[in-house]
């Protein structure tokens, strides 16, 4: 009999699209897509990535309430600060849930979607490979949602897993 059973290493990458609904009916034409936030976790690394608009378009500002437009004047800066705060204050793999719960009445964080992590990244210590994978994933999703809205910025933070 085996005395030691070793777990199969795994990694997880989940993302959530962030949007603002200026009409509470949540109809398709009343949404402003702001960005995509993703979280990577493995036994060795954890990471956070965000791609978001740097500015609101003039039409978007008109549609938003004054408070919303003021807070989200620069969506990227606001969302990065919020995302990083939750990422640093939660355990690995729970930042997206914490963000969604915190903004439940203000922003829409869509249901988390998991993306398969390439096998070579599961035990990787190569930050550049993990970073490239994370940025590629959120950029692709953001482009699908927005049709390449201009004035975007991305940011990444990687750390050793706790």
Q: Please tell me the distance from the alpha carbon of residue 129 to that of residue 32, in angstroms, as a whole number.
A: 31
pLDDT higher than 80, residue 7: no
86-117 pLDDT, tens digit per residue, is: 999 999 999 999 999 999 888 889 999 999 99
Instruction: Give a yes or no: residue 21 inside a domain.
Output: yes
Give the chain's end-to-end CA distance (angstroms, integer).
32
| Ramachandran angles phi, psi of 147, nearest 5° | 70, 35
Instruction: Give a yes or no: residue 81 inside a domain.
Output: yes
Instruction: Determine the structural domain holding residue 130 and report its residue range.
Output: 11-160
- Dihedral angle sign, alpha carbons of residues 89, 98, 115, 144: negative
Contacts of 69 (CB under 8 A, 6+ apart): 56, 60, 61
Contacts of 122 (CB under 8 A, 6+ apart): 9, 10, 11, 42
109-124 pLDDT, tens digit per residue, is: 999 999 999 988 887 7
* Tokens linked to 38: 């993703």
Instruction: Give a yes or no: residue 5 inside a domain.
Output: no
Instruction: Give a yes or no: residue 3 inside a domain.
Output: no
Instruction: Give a yes or no: residue 113 inside a domain.
Output: yes
Instruction: Give a yes or no: residue 150 inside a domain.
Output: yes
Coil vs helix vs strand at 105 = coil
DSSP designation for 49: E
| pLDDT value of residue 146 | 80
Strands 31-42 and 152-160: unpaired
Report the domain count for the chain.
1
């Amino acid at each position: 009999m085996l005395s030691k059973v070793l777990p199969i290493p795994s990694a997880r990458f989940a993302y959530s699209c962030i949007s603002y609904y200026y009409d509470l009916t949540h109809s398709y034409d009343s949404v402003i897509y702001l960005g995509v936030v993703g979280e990577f976790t493995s036994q060795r690394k954890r990471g956070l990535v965000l791609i978001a608009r740097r500015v609101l378009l003039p039409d978007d500002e008109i549609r938003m309430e004054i408070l919303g437009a003021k807070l989200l004047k620069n969506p990227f800066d606001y969302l990065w600060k919020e995302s990083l705060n939750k990422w640093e204050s939660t355990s690995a793999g729970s930042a997206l849930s914490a963000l969604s719960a915190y903004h439940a009445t203000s922003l829409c964080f869509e249901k988390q979607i998991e993306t398969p992590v390439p096998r070579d990244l599961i035990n990787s210590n190569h930050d550049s490979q993990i970073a490239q994978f994370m940025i590629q994933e959120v950029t692709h999703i953001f482009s699908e949602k927005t049709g390449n809205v201009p004035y975007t910025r991305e940011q990444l933070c990687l750390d050793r897993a706790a």
